[in-house]
Structure 1
């Protein structure tokens, strides 16, 4: 059986709709909780897919949250192996930082549902399956595109929303995995952030309800297209 290892920072920021797709495609899913598990003991070579999920801290906050150092080391190990790696929000920022790119505050929050604007390369990528379906954005930091990576998408607020490397790395600033049918966990878990940003949870709830059918289908199509690519690529030996 194939294995997918997900590095999680908050219980409710999990694999979302991606988890069912992975199960259907024969993956056994295992979580490692970055704040409490010893990431130094994790052997990324044992996983067919590594997913680094989101969270409300910064990719540059290791002075406050020392486990980030171990997480960056784990990501670098995976990058060196050139085996499939997916980063979402904080996970994408950590991948960018591990590759030497700058990660910093935007000075503004991007929270809510909005479609991505794809680059020409993005139009030829798995993200093309999204069309104009709005996806969930929930962040205040942004990453630069690492050297050697391909920029795939942006928004008016955040120019860099996605990048890829040779098909085996996909980094998403947006929360494509988030299930709009389970938005209430996000609204409660991030209640303080929403209040500080002046965002009414009732508006987000209404947006999520309107997308509860279209978004999971679009996300599934995009993730399935990416998985098709990594599953048909020659297996790379860990370095």
Structure 2
């Protein structure tokens, strides 16, 4: 049985629809709420690490001191244990900085619906198998990855954010966008002060008020995208146990090819 460890940074920013897919397959999930002071368990007990989003920024270690051991755990998971990693939004940014990359504030937050385009590497990557080259996504972030870590490859991007998805090494992945959202996501997140501020900055009062109505009809499509990504990642997890079916790490020079 695959044992999944989940790092959360906010109770309402959970794995969303991924939880349903994991439950359907009978997978074991352990959630650690880092912002509530819960300790990180022994990493060796788990097969997959999923790191979710949150309103804090990756460099805010003074305000959120648990970011220090979290980054160390991510670095050990990916660089030493070399086990499958799936990061979403903040989890995507943490993957980059924990491995030596960089993330910075954007000139303007990206919030709402936005298409992303797969790169040449993304079209060949097993995570995006069966998905179109252009994917409609839901976004809610004000920070972006501006330099990939060594061994990092950009898999998707758009005009607002160059690195919308990446792979680091053979099976560590980050996605800036949210495919996992569910019915209550927008209403839950808009109650978070930092998220409300970025929502107003990005869309204005009218756009902020209308976001839920804009997103709701697209939830079935997002769910199917999430199901495809989850199924593809399940194959990556299975392949990591045998060493088969995984993309090769990129050369170090590729890490410097994507900059915002």
Aligned to 1:215: 222
Match of 2:219, SS state, is: coil
Q: Matches of 2:59 and 2:184 in 1, distance apart?
A: 31
Question: Residues 68-100 of structure 1: CA distance to partner in whole angstroms, max 9, x if unpaired?
Answer: 111111111211200111111111111101111
Contact kept? 1:113, 1:134, Cα under 8 Å: yes
Q: Which deviates more, 122-131 or 162-171?
A: 122-131
Q: TM-score, normalised by structure 2?
A: 0.84
Aligned partner (choices 190, 213, 221) of residue 206 of structure 1: 213
Aligned positions, number:
235
Aligned to 2:42: 43
Question: What CA RMSD, in Å, does the superposition of the two structures yield over aligned residues?
Answer: 1.9
> Residues 234 and 30 from structure 1, CA distance in 2 versus in 1: closer, same or farther, beyond 3 angstroms?
closer
Contact kept? 1:142, 1:160, Cα under 8 Å: yes
Q: Are positions 1:155 and 2:154 aligned together? A: no
Q: TM-score, normalised by structure 1?
A: 0.91
Aligned to 1:127: 128
Match of 1:134, SS state, is: strand
Aligned to 2:255: none
Aligned to 2:199: 194
Offset of residue 181 of structure 1: 5.6
Unmatched tracts of structure 2, length 5 or more: 244-260
Aligned to 2:144: 142
Q: Matches of 1:54 and 1:184 in 2, distance apart?
A: 16
Match of 2:162, SS state, is: coil
Contact kept? 2:83, 2:240, Cα under 8 Å: no
Q: Matches of 2:240 and 2:180 in 1, distance apart?
A: 23
Q: Which deviates more, 150-159 or 203-212?
A: 203-212
Aligned to 1:224: 231
Contact kept? 2:5, 2:32, Cα under 8 Å: yes
Aligned to 2:92: 92
> Residues 214 and 160 from structure 1, CA distance in 2 versus in 1: closer, same or farther, beyond 3 angstroms?
same
